[in-house]
């Protein structure tokens, strides 16, 4: 299985493909599923910022488009512009959608270029859940 460093390196690589001509804030993400497969995503901006797509949601969407249906277990996120590049609120909610076992590990790079990790429940303790009656 890939190490957290391997996943972060994949996120670093794909951050080079980011389309971020407005913010100049490139982000790459690599998601790992229990199947052992990884999928990559980078941010894709639009002049209407609300239409932009974050790297995390891009990676998850790619996995779904490729037919992945196993458990999402880890995500590595990297930006050359920011150490500890945490997912935004929208991406945290997306991660929660695929967090059936409440254990998604979020891998980031710290100030010393080391891998650090958090769990989604640590950084997003209260998510929206649709309770259909």
DSSP H or E run through 6: helix 4-15
Q: What SS3 class is residue 107? A: strand
- 56, 68, 105, 109: the active-site residue: 56
Tell me if residue 56 is catalytic: yes
Judge residue 14's burial from the number of C-beta atoms within 10 Å of its C-beta, 0-12 exposed, 13-18 middle, 19 or more buried. Answer: buried
* Diameter over CA atoms, the chain: 49
Q: In what order do the strands lie in the sheet with 38-42?
A: 38-42, 28-33, 72-78, 105-109, 115-119
Which of the residues are catalytic? 56
């Amino acid at each position: 299985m890939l190490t957290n460093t391997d996943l972060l390196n994949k996120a670093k690589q794909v951050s080079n493909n980011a389309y971020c001509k407005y913010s100049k804030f490139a982000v790459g993400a690599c998601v790992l599923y229990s199947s052992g497969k990884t999928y990559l995503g980078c941010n894709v901006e639009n002049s209407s910022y609300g239409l932009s797509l974050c790297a995390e949601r891009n990676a998850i969407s790619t996995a779904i488009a490729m037919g992945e249906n196993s458990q999402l277990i880890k995500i590595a996120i990297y930006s050359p512009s920011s150490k500890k590049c945490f997912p935004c609120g929208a991406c945290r909610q997306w991660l929660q959608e695929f967090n059936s076992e409440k254990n998604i590990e979020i891998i980031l790079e710290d100030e010393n270029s080391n891998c650090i990790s958090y769990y989604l429940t640590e950084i997003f303790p209260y998510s929206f859940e649709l309770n259909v009656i």
